[in-house]
Structure 1
């Protein structure tokens, strides 16, 4: 369809109905959002930040940032997607000068698609390795074990140790779970300059992960909307089973106390507040365009406000719930190993692929619990992965709806996206792949990048398009106005929070490291290019648009800040029934 400038920008709302596929049911959308937002960050990052930043006291800044930043931005992204009925790029026709936000989020999705699924490949490797009578990381009788390996409880160390250093010193010991991760799963080299060959077992699990991902989304939201009924709900069954088992273990109570005991004095540290803010942005998956893509498949009158509240509650509850599981296990592990909990609680892959495998190896029927845990990781990861891929596909397909939106052409396009992302991801399943993975994780979708996206989204909608105006659009869609606090968040609170945390993060930036390995300048340079590849899209598009628009500077700014809406009849706020009626008329015509 052709586009035009809305002649009534202050009061008009556009009713969009085209050949776009829609969710069959509203529950499909809700479960997809839950599956997308609930990911690995809920399982390993939130529990770690809680124990690091004052236990239960961490909930105070977390809840404040959730209310004044996380939920408002979640609602904003879903709402504009539903209202404009476009994905990540063309949705910014609502404020054309900021279409660079859409380009930036699509670039972020491009990077995310390549590296996030590698974590799923690792989880699959552990899952398949669990089908045995004795877990391979529970003893030192494997071909990859060294003479430094020890099964003695006192010999456990909480970080990966360099094998050469251990061999030289002679008196240091390494846990079998460390050696399984470093010497069997990764077979890691000494640095980024030593990539080594492909780890063919990981190539296989990565391929399996991509095949599963493809068949989840190849038919669009009609297929993925049904997959999430299982992938978004069954993990809670597994988590509950594991939690019941874990709290019955010796030492579980100590772990839970360590997790929840508040240390109010930690709130004086600015880093605690920064950690809480960045965790909210990570946890709610804000600033990568996928929520906009999910919202774009909603019907015009879907109650996106209600859905946002449901997803927000489930997402934050899941973070807290996973913390109970993880720290009950770490408490047991602390007792078994004779070490303080602070020495066994690590973040990132160390928590999931070292601490928890060690803990389940100490349980009765260890292979069964291990299978359950890594199957849960597989489901949690797949939800987030295929929604991110869908966000990228939707953004591109909106430019070529006749060719990429439906039928076998879409299926071929999705196959191309999956296959190319798989090929890019091969660099992360080499023997030096962990170093590449860390660059992707540290730069491509870092807190600095997501905070930048959040700030400019608030500027575009809250300040230029108008928070009050979006409220009028929401009233048209759902029949009533949400709480007024969200409008003020878009205009004031959220951009201030985003900018403040961004400035603090930049000021306190630390060089990239993996364990004791410090990345060379050229490796950091590659990472900085990845981060800038998305952030620079915003000013670059604004400059490009201003340079290629006719008229005086004032006229150019006026044109580029006027929404581009498609030529349907204008619906005034509060006329929900009329809006739906005109949708049906438009379809018939």
Structure 2
């Protein structure tokens, strides 16, 4: 079967934007390929498979929240659900109960099983969506609603990839465009919330003393390499669908 090609050059460029191409792809891949005798492709497939096994769970969470967003009363806004604790704080009250120092009012009257000062949104996440167990010694049961969402997610991805780049090259406009729209919406909404000015000041004003902490550098490098997709094979796969005379320099 003939190797598929991108419908247009713009499809390829937008796909690269969605993946956040980095210079590490051009620097490390030839070196690793030479040092390992060309067997790096197998490693890329293995890494991609490992990445796939856990990253799709994030989309299952999104699917579950998307399903619940159609409820007439959002379950993470109020404390009238079966999973809520006596320490639950409704969304419309959390902004007034939580002060700028990060402390909550007296919760001495709460039961020992409740988490003082936890918002309704966080309780929905912890006690309904995930139902986090006490540790590895108590794994708990399967969260069937998440399992169903994971199956739906995998089916959608399979149908998407199975159709080839002729379809994915069009859908990528949605997958790349929607996050930017959501970021804009979150920015506007977040700027209108109480305490937003303090949050912006904390984000913009640097704490240079933190640069002495090695953990900061480790996490910064880890995030940079993760964003570049070094040796994951995705950049190579996408570029392989270009025409033989593609202008790489441009």
Q: Is the 8 A contact 1:77 1:291 kept in 2?
A: no
What CA distance in whole angstroms lies between the structure 2 residues aligned with 1:171 and 1:119? 25
1:35 aligns with 2:18: yes
Which residue of the other structure, out of 129, 136, 151, is the alignment partner of 2:68? 129
1:139-186 Cα shifts (integer Å, max 9, x gaps): 211111123334453379x9xxxxxxx843778443322221121111
1:19 aligns with 2:2: yes
Cα–Cα, structure 1 residues 305 and 73, in superposed 2: closer, same or farther, change >3 Å? farther
1:71 aligns with 2:15: no
Residue in structure 2 matched with residue 224 of structure 1 by the alignment: 168
Cα–Cα, structure 1 residues 108 and 97, in superposed 2: closer, same or farther, change >3 Å? closer
What CA distance in whole angstroms lies between the structure 2 residues aligned with 1:197 and 1:267? 42
Greater relative CO (CA pairs within 8 A, separation 6+): 2
Structural mapping, 1:405-416, within 5 Å: none
TM-score, normalisation: structure 1? 0.37
What CA distance in whole angstroms lies between the structure 1 residues aligned with 2:56 and 2:249? 30
What CA distance in whole angstroms lies between the structure 1 residues aligned with 2:212 and 2:133? 41
* 1:189 to partner: Cα distance: 2.2
1:293 aligns with 2:210: no
Query: SS of the counterpart of 1:196?
Result: coil
Structure 1 consecutive aligned stretches of length 4 or more whose deviation exceeds 4 Å: none
Residue in structure 2 matched with residue 142 of structure 1 by the alignment: 81
TM-score, normalisation: structure 2? 0.81
Which residue of the other structure, out of 178, 184, 192, is the alignment partner of 2:128? 184
Structural mapping, 1:43-58, within 5 Å: none
Q: Is the 8 A contact 1:120 1:206 kept in 2?
A: yes
Give the unaligned 5+ runs of structure 2.
103-109
Cα–Cα, structure 1 residues 171 and 216, in superposed 2: closer, same or farther, change >3 Å? closer
Structural mapping, 1:116-515, within 5 Å: 116-151=55-90, 153=94, 154=97, 167-168=111-112, 172-306=116-250
Give the unaligned 5+ runs of structure 1.
1-17, 38-69, 81-91, 159-165, 307-589
Size of the aligned set, in residue pairs, is 236
Cα–Cα, structure 1 residues 145 and 304, in superposed 2: closer, same or farther, change >3 Å? same
Cα–Cα, structure 1 residues 135 and 289, in superposed 2: closer, same or farther, change >3 Å? same
1:306-338 Cα shifts (integer Å, max 9, x gaps): 4xxxxxxxxxxxxxxxxxxxxxxxxxxxxxxxx
What CA distance in whole angstroms lies between the structure 2 residues aligned with 1:137 and 1:249? 18
What CA distance in whole angstroms lies between the structure 2 residues aligned with 1:297 and 1:195? 43
Cα–Cα, structure 1 residues 100 and 242, in superposed 2: closer, same or farther, change >3 Å? same
* 1:305 to partner: Cα distance: 4.1
What CA distance in whole angstroms lies between the structure 2 residues aligned with 1:187 and 1:245? 29
1:389-427 Cα shifts (integer Å, max 9, x gaps): xxxxxxxxxxxxxxxxxxxxxxxxxxxxxxxxxxxxxxx
